[in-house]
Structure 1
Amino acid sequence: MKRFSVFLILLVFLTGYCSAQTLFTYGNDKVDAKEFLRAYKKNNTQPVANKEKSIREYLDLFIKSKLKVKEAYSRGYDTLPNLKTEFANLRAQIIEGYMTNPDILDKMTHEAFVRSLKDIELSHIFISFKNAAGALDTTVANKKKDEVLALLKKGTAFDKVAMQYSDDPSAKENKGYIGFITVFSLPYELEKAAYNTRPGHTTDVIRSNSGYHILKVMSERKALGKMKVQQILLAFPPGTDEANKKLIGKKADSLYKLIQSGRDFGQLASTFSNDYISAATGGNIPDISVGQYDPVFEKQVWSLKKDGSVSKPFQTEYGWHILKRVTAKPLITDENDKENLKVLEQKVKTDGRWKESTDFIYNEVKNKAGARKEVYSAFSLWALADSILNNQFLRPDGRNIQLSTPLFSIGDQKYTAGNFIDYARTYRFKPDGSGAKPYDQLTDEWEKYIMKNYYQDHLEEFNEDFRNQMAEFKDGNLFFEIMQQEIWNKAQADTTALLALYNQNKPKYIWNKSADAVIFFCSDGSVSQKVYDAIRKSPLWWKNTVAQYSELVYADSSRLEWDQIPGIGNSTPVSGMVTKPQINSTDNTASFAWISKVYSQPMQRSFNEARGLVMNDYQEILDKKWDVELRKKYPVVINEATLNSILK
């Protein structure tokens, strides 16, 4: 067993060693087997009959392209403004996809799916960081939290503690009862605590930006899915007393009787409902999931057992409601349902949990780039920040730090107190307008901001896939630019050389059996059938037919050899023939032809007719000549041992 284990370790080592071996050198540069195989596999996705032949042919093309790119660098093409702009634009377009960890996204999407199968019944105690006067006071909040924990530990009923201590304004009436929730109903930290706690137990204390939270899991059940309903809401205006609430209730009873007598629910909703958004659509409200609305409201929603059933009027703190069930959307329990997974993935990306998929960035920058906090007094920094940001008198402890004092470093790059204060000018206030962020939170956010920007600016150093993609794009642009200058433009402009090549090789440039035809390219099969029918009826009016379909159809008239005519199959072309649409299975596009004239015998191509073919041949001549020159300038040496190892 031990010898076998050693053999496996040796095999893995040698395999890695082989892939890291140099495959060939060109000038002072080298390419290892790993780089070549990555390119080969990317461009050869289908099985090949002769692997050695395929690899050797691709190696020759690969070396030729490497030589051209090296020459482009030597000429400074990588500094051309247009290429630099294209490179920067592509980087900006694709970089966001590399700023998250796909494994974490998959994990969180799976987690969301599993949680979507279960609803959790909760009660809640909230302890605000603000005191009775509205000022930030974590000392009071901590004291209150400890009192709550002590009472719960003694066995005091959760609802009683919630009524007495919770800073949630509704707790006095609902005793902290939230009702049932499902995935995405709550902020992620609360959801995570709820789903990780057994029924009958309370969660640990959860800290948010606004305060402390304690949840009690009352029960759990199989998730109910979603419900589509219509609503009539007779809302309570602000300050409505009980007498007027009863009067509004009587109006709701009258509407209910009208519904029972057969009046259209949607029309009544449009006329009488105070929920003006849903009233505009006949009372239709977006699909309801558990945990979105008041528990009383949701209880009524899920009590509607049949499509078309209508609830009796019921009261919530918002007013009197009447609901009609439109349809129930059953719970999706198949994790392979791609459409549902897309929805969950999108919700994960826009939810608070998504930040966890970017947290890996900070570890990467710390571990690989040496990000670190410098030694300084936080209190001195905050005193200095107060004096500058709030125009306050500089406290004595603020004199121990300067704007130039380094607070954070990544490698040799220093970030100073001045940098922090510049950041704080823009980001110090909470997004909800509830005041300034605590300085410890702001400092933490600033450090993460620095590390995220550093990671983004140096992503090639952290992510091999991104580095390879950007290198391929850059080299591809350089290859295109130098080919344009050295081959394509020269071949196109040198008419004298093209004509000479044509005259030397006239027998090569002939028409096989051919035809003049109009080719129709259609966006899909159904469009092609309509155009096909119209062309068959009136082929001479083909331009008018194409114009009717705007961007869905494109047509081009040209001379084609018989085997190039779409839809011709084994048929013999005849003047006036319209071939049947040929459907492309990959994208459902379609093409067919109207044949106007047939040439049944081979014919000599004129220079103008053969120009494209002649130009291709001339480009090949120029390319071969240039390849010889480049190999003299940058000698190529292939490591046959490494090549043989990848041919096996």
Structure 2
Amino acid sequence: MKTRLMLTGLLLASCLTGQAQTLFTYGGTKADAAEFLRAYTKNNNAIGADKAGSMREYLDLYINSRLKIREAFARGYDTLPQIRTEVENLRVQIIENYINDPEAINRLTREAFKRSQKDVHAAHIFLAFRNTGGIADTTAAYAKLQQVLKALPKQDFLSVAQQYSDDPSAKTNKGDLGFVTAFTLPYVFENLVYQTAVGKHSRVYRSGAGYHIFKNIGERKALGKMKAQQILLAFPPDADQATRNGIKSLADSLYAQLKKGADFTSFVNKFSNDYISVNTGGTMPDISVGQFDQTFENNLWSLKKDGEVGKPFMTNHGWHILKRISVKPVSADSNNTAYMEQLRMAVKNDDRWTTVRDFIYDEVVKKAGVKRIGPTDAALWAFSDSLLDYKPAGPAGSKVKMEDVLLRIGKTDFNVEDWIVYSRNYRFKPDRSGVKTYNELTDEYIKAKEYDYYRNNLEDFNADFRAQMNEFLDGNLFFEIMQQEIWNKAQTDSASLLALYQKRKEQYNWKPSAEAVIFFCNDEAVAKTLQNQIKQQPTEWRTFADALVEKVVADSARYEWEQLPGIGNATPKEKTLTPLSVNKQDNSATFAYIFKVHPQAGPRSFAEAKGLVINDQQSLLEEAWMAELKKKYPVHIDQQVWEELVKRKAP
């Protein structure tokens, strides 16, 4: 199934009462206690017994980040074209999730109809912010992103995905998601896929979990939905190869009998292990593109006519036999009321957010204020009569001018000229049966301006949207200033890196290690086959692995013993294979072939230690920089507010 990674947030509800409280100041800038608590809660899901210690540790990190962001603002990084573009792109991308109006439903329904007409063959690269140990390491993720961006113009996208993507499945499927269609992926990812031209990859998208890049491999006319029956001969937990072979033989036997006319439903009732579909004679709910993995879908859509039974095929679940019942094509008629209503309901139930527009008008009146000023209705309408028909401006003696302010919403003024432009575009009734009355037109105009004001100033009306936009801007500023001040300097100053290596040379040591190649296999059976081949002819390991390129990834390097699969506390031996290490969740397996063992700890060369040296250099640069920032922006914590926060129960 497709991995769905989305931007997520934890809302702060009634954490602090009364007016905003300042937790600390830094160089005259106030840091709100509620904002700190919101960030702490979001990033510390499991709060231990030492809550005070945990909060204090996070406060130090929070202060450091605020100082860096404050400095980024001082340098004007928020005005950089790339930063402004990224922020505006996000605003456009997410604003529909926060604006509740019927027009959004119509627009999104039309968009879903257009997208439903084609299926897109998509691939995905995911670079996680957290490393394999679960520790946040955004520096490493950013460095890895630069490697990916450098590799993409030179290498095939799927090869880059297999090499770099942190999606575990990418090692075997190379990030290939197969075909997707409207509503298959989260909306933000769907946008990236459908807005990318065939053969191209998308821009980099930064979610709360990491970086994402999609490629549009190809497109086809949408296949629609299929109704099918299934016989599933599932693998029992921890089934050995003999059991699996027996299940395969049963599948082949059933297929042979089905080809001779045996009743499919009776075989479902007798043999199928799919406890959901077995209750309906094996009939599955209508299957859309992108619901199942590629192996299943390829076999499903290979059935070309109703009643056709496909050959048995294997997935991680077991052996499947499918029978096509019928296909429901996608409607290509936007006037098909039933289909458009189906899409409309899907939009409402999807992460495409919507509700009625009256809510918006009420919010603008209540929070911003709406005031009708300027010329009277009679004077305005008399002036408008001639202009709307492109005649000379108004009756003789009219004092109305185009620049006169007509409407004030909040601090934004709308003049007579804006009213005239609007009226020319919207004065006629939708059914073209005549002209709207001035009362109708005026009411619609005011509502339209209220909606525009709400949309353009959504940060003032929606705290969640404001927090999302501020968080995104702060994140971009943080990355920009860290790149300029720390990361680029640490990675490009070769002389300083070499000097630091020489100064701390005794610290950069190998633990007991081994030169080895680790094999990552998509299932245990493949791993056992490859292991047996290498055992017979070790020097041919590369040939054997290359022959299984779709199922095996080999990585040769020097590893410390704890990084080798399957050895536990044992001592590795040269010219030997390590035992299989099998992942029970997906049946993937790893093992290693040991070339040479280094039983003693020993020094790393500069090349071997460079990654560690860069990390140390970054720490030194950041430590010195933080000292400068704290002098420039002195930090003063309100101890009373801090103590109140520590005493509060976690939300």
For the aligned pair, the TM-score class normalised by the smaller chain equals: 0.5 to 0.7
For residue 503 of structure 1, what is the aligned residue in structure 2? 502
| CA shift digits 1:463-509 (9 cap, x unpaired) | 22222222222122112111112211111122222222222323321
Conservation of the 8 A alpha-carbon contact between 2:561 and 2:572 = yes
For residue 466 of structure 1, what is the aligned residue in structure 2? 465
Following the alignment from structure 1 to structure 2, what is the Cα–Cα distance between the partners of residues 53 and 78? 34
1:595 aligns with 2:566: no
For residue 92 of structure 1, what is the aligned residue in structure 2? 92
Conservation of the 8 A alpha-carbon contact between 2:51 and 2:646 = yes
Range moving further from structure 2, 388-397 or 450-459? 388-397
Q: How many residues end up aligned between the 2 structures?
A: 394
Conservation of the 8 A alpha-carbon contact between 1:51 and 1:647 = yes
Following the alignment from structure 2 to structure 1, what is the Cα–Cα distance between the partners of residues 594 and 432? 73
Match of 2:542 among 540, 543, 548: 540
For residue 606 of structure 1, what is the aligned residue in structure 2? 605
Instruction: Provide the identity percentage.
Output: 46
Following the alignment from structure 1 to structure 2, what is the Cα–Cα distance between the partners of residues 355 and 374? 32
Following the alignment from structure 1 to structure 2, what is the Cα–Cα distance between the partners of residues 633 and 404? 47
For residue 52 of structure 1, what is the aligned residue in structure 2? 52
| CA shift digits 1:208-258 (9 cap, x unpaired) | xxxxxxxxxxxxxxxxxxxx9xxxxxxxxxxxxxxxxxxxxxxxxxxxxxx
For residue 365 of structure 1, what is the aligned residue in structure 2? 364
**Counterparts of 1:210-609 in structure 2 under 5 Å?**
346=346, 348=348, 357-374=356-373, 376=375, 378=377, 381=380, 384-390=383-389, 401-429=400-428, 437=436, 439-518=438-517, 527-529=522-524, 532=527, 535-536=530-531, 537=533, 539-541=541-543, 544-545=546-547, 547-548=549-550, 556-565=555-564, 569=568, 573=572, 575=575, 577=577, 580=580, 583=583, 592-601=590-599, 602-609=601-608
Conservation of the 8 A alpha-carbon contact between 1:520 and 1:555 = yes
Conservation of the 8 A alpha-carbon contact between 1:517 and 1:559 = yes
Following the alignment from structure 1 to structure 2, what is the Cα–Cα distance between the partners of residues 509 and 456? 55
> What secondary structure is seen at the aligned counterpart in 2 of 1:558?
strand
Following the alignment from structure 2 to structure 1, what is the Cα–Cα distance between the partners of residues 625 and 347? 55
Following the alignment from structure 1 to structure 2, what is the Cα–Cα distance between the partners of residues 398 and 419? 22
1:627 aligns with 2:597: no
For residue 27 of structure 1, what is the aligned residue in structure 2? 27
Q: Tell me the amino acid that sits aligned with residue 33 of structure 1.
A: A
Following the alignment from structure 2 to structure 1, what is the Cα–Cα distance between the partners of residues 623 and 347? 55
Cα pair distance change 1:384/1:620, threshold 3 Å: same
Following the alignment from structure 1 to structure 2, what is the Cα–Cα distance between the partners of residues 356 and 507? 64
Give the Å deviation of 1:28. 0.9
Give the Å deviation of 1:452. 1.6
Across the aligned residues of Structure 1 and Structure 2, the Cα RMSD in angstroms comes to: 4.2
For residue 73 of structure 1, what is the aligned residue in structure 2? 73
| CA shift digits 1:334-392 (9 cap, x unpaired) | xxxxxxxx988635479xxx985332111121121112333655566555545344457
For residue 244 of structure 1, what is the aligned residue in structure 2? none
Following the alignment from structure 1 to structure 2, what is the Cα–Cα distance between the partners of residues 14 and 99? 25
For residue 647 of structure 1, what is the aligned residue in structure 2? 646
Cα pair distance change 1:616/1:14, threshold 3 Å: closer
> What secondary structure is seen at the aligned counterpart in 1 of 2:477?
helix
Q: Tell me the amino acid that sits aligned with residue 16 of structure 1.
A: T
For residue 231 of structure 1, what is the aligned residue in structure 2? none
Give the Å deviation of 1:45. 1.0
Cα pair distance change 1:496/1:46, threshold 3 Å: same
For residue 17 of structure 2, what is the aligned residue in structure 1? 16
Conservation of the 8 A alpha-carbon contact between 1:362 and 1:452 = yes
For residue 64 of structure 1, what is the aligned residue in structure 2? 64
Range moving further from structure 2, 69-78 or 558-567? 558-567
> What secondary structure is seen at the aligned counterpart in 2 of 1:70?
helix
> What secondary structure is seen at the aligned counterpart in 1 of 2:402?
coil
Give the Å deviation of 1:441. 3.7
Q: Give the TM-score normalised by structure 2.
A: 0.52
Higher relative CO (Cα under 8 Å, sequence separation at least 6) belongs to 2
Q: Tell me the amino acid that sits aligned with residue 504 of structure 1.
A: K
> What secondary structure is seen at the aligned counterpart in 2 of 1:357?
coil
Q: Tell me the amino acid that sits aligned with residue 80 of structure 1.
A: L
Cα pair distance change 1:403/1:637, threshold 3 Å: closer
Conservation of the 8 A alpha-carbon contact between 2:99 and 2:354 = no
For residue 196 of structure 2, what is the aligned residue in structure 1? none
Q: Tell me the amino acid that sits aligned with residue 94 of structure 2.
A: I
Conservation of the 8 A alpha-carbon contact between 1:519 and 1:556 = yes
Cα pair distance change 1:486/1:396, threshold 3 Å: closer
Q: Tell me the amino acid that sits aligned with residue 621 of structure 1.
A: L
Following the alignment from structure 2 to structure 1, what is the Cα–Cα distance between the partners of residues 607 and 37? 42
Conservation of the 8 A alpha-carbon contact between 2:373 and 2:405 = yes
Cα pair distance change 1:434/1:68, threshold 3 Å: same
Conservation of the 8 A alpha-carbon contact between 2:405 and 2:415 = yes
For residue 276 of structure 1, what is the aligned residue in structure 2? none
Conservation of the 8 A alpha-carbon contact between 1:25 and 1:637 = yes
Following the alignment from structure 2 to structure 1, what is the Cα–Cα distance between the partners of residues 392 and 620? 79
Give the Å deviation of 1:428. 4.2
1:616 aligns with 2:618: no
Following the alignment from structure 1 to structure 2, what is the Cα–Cα distance between the partners of residues 640 and 100? 41
> What secondary structure is seen at the aligned counterpart in 1 of 2:577?
coil
> What secondary structure is seen at the aligned counterpart in 2 of 1:16?
coil
Conservation of the 8 A alpha-carbon contact between 1:567 and 1:580 = yes
Q: Tell me the amino acid that sits aligned with residue 485 of structure 1.
A: Q
Conservation of the 8 A alpha-carbon contact between 2:47 and 2:54 = no
Cα pair distance change 1:43/1:383, threshold 3 Å: same
For residue 38 of structure 2, what is the aligned residue in structure 1? 38
Following the alignment from structure 2 to structure 1, what is the Cα–Cα distance between the partners of residues 94 and 347? 21
Give the Å deviation of 1:458. 1.3
Give the Å deviation of 1:87. 1.5
Give the Å deviation of 1:577. 3.0
Q: Give the TM-score normalised by structure 1.
A: 0.52
Following the alignment from structure 1 to structure 2, what is the Cα–Cα distance between the partners of residues 641 and 358? 43
For residue 108 of structure 1, what is the aligned residue in structure 2? none
Following the alignment from structure 1 to structure 2, what is the Cα–Cα distance between the partners of residues 83 and 21? 30
Following the alignment from structure 1 to structure 2, what is the Cα–Cα distance between the partners of residues 630 and 594? 48
| CA shift digits 1:522-564 (9 cap, x unpaired) | 8xxxx44575456434642366356446xxx766443322323
Q: Tell me the amino acid that sits aligned with residue 456 of structure 2.
A: D
Following the alignment from structure 1 to structure 2, what is the Cα–Cα distance between the partners of residues 41 and 366? 34
Cα pair distance change 1:513/1:542, threshold 3 Å: farther
Following the alignment from structure 1 to structure 2, what is the Cα–Cα distance between the partners of residues 479 and 43? 17
Query: Which structure is larger by alpha-carbon Rg, 1 or 2?
Result: 1
For residue 177 of structure 1, what is the aligned residue in structure 2? none
Give the Å deviation of 1:609. 0.4
Conservation of the 8 A alpha-carbon contact between 2:348 and 2:354 = no
